[in-house]
Chains A and B, each alone.
Chain A
Amino acid sequence: MVVSATAVGVELLEALAIVLAVGVERRMRDALIGALAAVVAVVALCVAVGPALLSGADLSFLRVLVGTLLLLFGLEWLRKGVLRMAGLRRRSSSYEDYIEERDALASDPTIGDRDWAARIVAFKGVFLEGLEVGLIVLALGGSPGRMAPALLGAALALVAVVGIGVVLHAPLRRLPETQLKLGVGVALTAFGTFFTAEGLGVEWPLGDVAILYLAAGFAAIAWLAAVRLRVPSRYPAEAAP
C-alpha cells in the first residue's frame, strides 16, 4: 500500500502541475475538461484491459509479466534518480514543470471560446501520467490479495494530491521529489525482482521479507553509483533541496 501510494502520489503530482499550469495560464474550466476527459479515458482503458489481463493468464505467467513491468518502471526511475543525485541530470520538480508548462502556454494565444490547445495539453499530461498510475496499480495489485492495498494506496495518494492542489501549488516546491522517486524506484525494482523470480519457481529465503533485503541491495547499489558519479551540479537552480 505504501509503495502504491508513493508511486501514484508522485505521478499525480506531475499531472497536477500540468493541470494547474493550464488552469492558471489559460482557463481552469478548459484545464479541468481536458483532465476529466483523460481520467475517463484511463479508467475506461484499465477497466477494459485490467480484468482480462489479470484473469486470463495463469499465476506464474502473471507474476513474470507483472514483475517485468515493475522492473521496467523501477529501473528507469532508479537510473534517472541516480543521475539526478549525481548532478548529471536536472532534479525532479513538479514546480519547475509547472513553470515550464505555464511559460509554454503563455506564448500560445487563446483561440475562441473553447480553448482546445489548453484542453489537449491538460488531456495529454493527465492521460500519460494516469496511464502510468493505472499500470503501476495493476502491476502491484496483480497478485492474489494485493489489489485492495494497491487500490487503497492509490486512493490515499489521490486524496493527498487533490488536497495539495486545492490548498495551492506552493507545497510542490517543498517536496523532495528526487529522493521520493529514487525511493519508489528502489521499491518497484525490489517488487519486480521478487515477483519475476516467484513466477519462475523461486522460493525466496524468509518469504516476503525478501522484498526488504532486495530493496536494501538495490538502494545500496544506487547510492554507491550516485556517490561514484557525483559531479558539481550543472543545474544549480534545481540543486537546492
Chain B
Amino acid sequence: MIALLRSLRSLILGETWTIPLGVAAAVGIAALLRSSFGDHAWDELGGFVLAGMIALTLVGSIAHSSSRS
C-alpha cells in the first residue's frame, strides 16, 4: 500500500521536487503579477511572462537532475 501511494505521488508530482515547486511558484507569481499589472498589459504580456517562468522551471529541473547524475 505504501509502495502504491509512493507510486501515486511520483505519478502526479514526478520524481523531483523542482518541477512541482517551480510550477507552483510560476502560477503564484503570475497571479500576483496579474493583480499588479494593468489589465491591458497583463492580457497582452502575461502569457509570455508565464511561459518564461515555465521555461526557467524546465531548465532548472534539467540542471538539477543532470548535476545529480
Instruction: Flag if B46 contacts A202 (CB, 8 Å).
Output: yes
Instruction: Flag if A229 contacts B66 (CB, 8 Å).
Output: yes
Instruction: Flag if B58 contacts A79 (CB, 8 Å).
Output: yes
Nearest CB of chain A from residue B13's CB, rounded to whole Å: 7
- CA of A124 to CA of B5, assembled, Å: 11
Nearest CB of chain B from residue A194's CB, rounded to whole Å: 8
Instruction: Flag if B59 contacts A197 (CB, 8 Å).
Output: no
Out of A82, A132, A214, name the residue touching B62 (CB < 8 Å). A82
The DSSP consensus for interface residues of chain A is helix
Instruction: Flag if B59 contacts A221 (CB, 8 Å).
Output: yes
Interface residues of B in 1-57 (CB under 8 A from A): 4, 7-8, 11-16, 19-20, 22-23, 27, 30-31, 34, 39, 42-44, 46-47, 50-51, 54-55, 57
Instruction: Flag if B51 contacts A193 (CB, 8 Å).
Output: yes
B residues neighboring A (CB under 8 Å): 4, 7-8, 11-16, 19-20, 22-23, 27, 30-31, 34, 39, 42-44, 46-47, 50-51, 54-55, 57-59, 61-62, 65-66, 69
